[in-house]
Amino acid sequence: MTISIEILEQLFDSFVALIQNADKQPFTHFSSSQFIDNQENYKYSVYHEAIKNLGSKLWKEGDIGTGKIKKNVSSAIQTKAIHNHRNVDNNLLYWREKDNFSKSSNNKALERILFDFYKYKVDDSLSFQLLAEQKLTYQFIAYLFFVKDSQKYLPISQRKFDEIFEEIGIKDFKTSNNISWENYNTFLSIIKNVQSYLKTKDSNCTLLDAHSFLWILGNQMKTAQGINTQETSEPTSLPSQVIQSKENIESVILEEDDELSFPEGKEIYRLHKSKERNTELIKTVKLNRLQKDKDLSCEVCNFSFSKQYGELGEGFIEAHHLFPISQLTEETETKISDIALVCSNCHRMLHRKRPWITVEELKNIYNSKL
């Protein structure tokens, strides 16, 4: 699957405008941009640190089933690195996936697959299939491949790259919910196609640079006209992008305003919020949860404010009232079982439709998109 040269030229012009605006100097090479180095090149540092933590060159057949291989792989995915004199976490994998793997019990069959994979004893296509059969996620498997060979393989965030590909004119290819060796290879071929083009601008451009190129465009320039593949226009500089997106942001804020999201009326909204802010009850709910989960994780996505933000996030999580709001009255007594503890994002999604979806339904939606 290829991207037209015309589209790539538009993308590159927009990219250069952004980088030069940020660096305050002409763009010459991916390795010379301070903006790219600060925003994206930490991935090189994570990769090299992960290789050290994996230590697969020292693995022996006798290690299979002992837990050593799983421990080393866990160390490789939990990698922290130093980049530009600052500590950086490995955000190439969702923290929940890292935790789930680290906390899982030892699996001899999985250790055999990992041993053969990193020791080049089986074809990579078969390894991908076997890892998928072990119920590892697409993102997790892609990271394992990236650690094996960063010259051939890349990490992936399915939802984000589906959005990016849509922006650059690739509308028929999706990675979300399509875990397979064939799908991963198509994903890689698209980025290799981009790399081939970028090499005409910077002969030292790596596959990971091409990955960063698309990621920067997707994150920083989503509303820029230069990304619109249906138009031919001059590249848009960062200040005008910010102004353009500001109007969109304000409309979203207005649409999603708390009170406006309650079509049942202000009285129901006030009652609902009073139930969710019942200080003594919520305190009891949190204390009960802390006895089972010291991280106070979201019941939908397992996000933990304390794990993400340290001391600042300790004890913080939002309360969602499960009771049907149509039946709320001043006299309604709220019980501990009527409250779910969720992160801010999931809380908003639970409120988004009428009738409300349940916590379990939202959890299923969330898991289906990984």
**Whole-number pLDDT of residue 36:** 93
d(CA 97, CA 113): 19
Give, for all 370 residues of the chain, the pLDDT tens digit: 778 888 899 889 989 998 998 899 999 999 999 999 988 999 999 999 999 999 999 999 999 999 999 999 999 999 888 888 888 888 888 888 888 898 888 899 999 999 999 999 999 999 999 999 999 999 999 999 999 999 999 999 988 899 889 888 888 899 998 999 999 999 999 999 999 999 999 999 999 999 999 998 887 654 343 333 333 222 333 333 333 343 343 333 333 444 444 444 445 455 555 555 566 778 888 888 888 888 899 999 999 998 888 888 888 898 888 865 555 554 556 678 888 999 989 988 887 776 778 899 999 888 887 6
* Burial class of residue 363, CB neighbours in 10 A (0-12, 13-18, 19+): middle
Helix (H, G, I), strand (E, B) or coil at 342: strand
Please, how many CA atoms are within 13 Å of residue 365, restricted to the half-sphere of its CB? 10
141 burial type by CB count under 10 A (0-12 exposed, 13-18 middle, 19+ buried):
buried
Residue 127 has what DSSP assignment?
H
Q: Which amino acid is at 224?
A: A
Q: Which residues pair with 25 in a beta bridge?
A: none
User: Residue 283: is it exposed, middle or buried by C-beta count within 10 angstroms (0-12/13-18/19+)?
Assistant: exposed
CA-based nearest residue to 213, from 234, 195, 187, 225: 195
Alpha carbon dihedral 262, 266, 269, 274, in 10-degree steps, equals 170
C-alpha 237: how far from its chain's center?
A: 27
Phi, psi (deg, nearest 5) at residue 99: -65, -45
**Degrees (nearest 5) of the Cα angle 20, 22, 26?**
20
- Give the separation between CA 210 and CA 39, rounded to whole angstroms: 14
Residue carrying the six token digits 């988004």? 352
Separation between Cα atoms, residue 123 and residue 125, nearest integer Å: 5
- DSSP secondary structure, 153-186, as one string: -----HHHHHHHHHHTT--S---TT--SHHHHHH
**What does the DSSP assignment read for 305-338?**
HHHHHGGGGTT--EEEE-S-GGG--TTPPP-GGG
DSSP one-letter string for 51-113: HHHH-GGG--GGGTTTTHHHHHHHHHHS-EEEETTEEEE-TTS-HHHHHHHHHSPP-HHHHHH
Give the rounded distance of the alpha carbon of 285 from its chain centre: 29
What is the helix, strand, coil percentage profile of the chain, to 5? 60, 5, 35
Tell me what pLDDT residue 151 has: 94
With contact defined as beta carbons under 8 Å apart, do 127 and 137 qualify?
no
Q: Which two tokens stand for residue 178?
A: 């399509």
**Model confidence, pTM:** 0.62
Tokens of 67: 């837990």
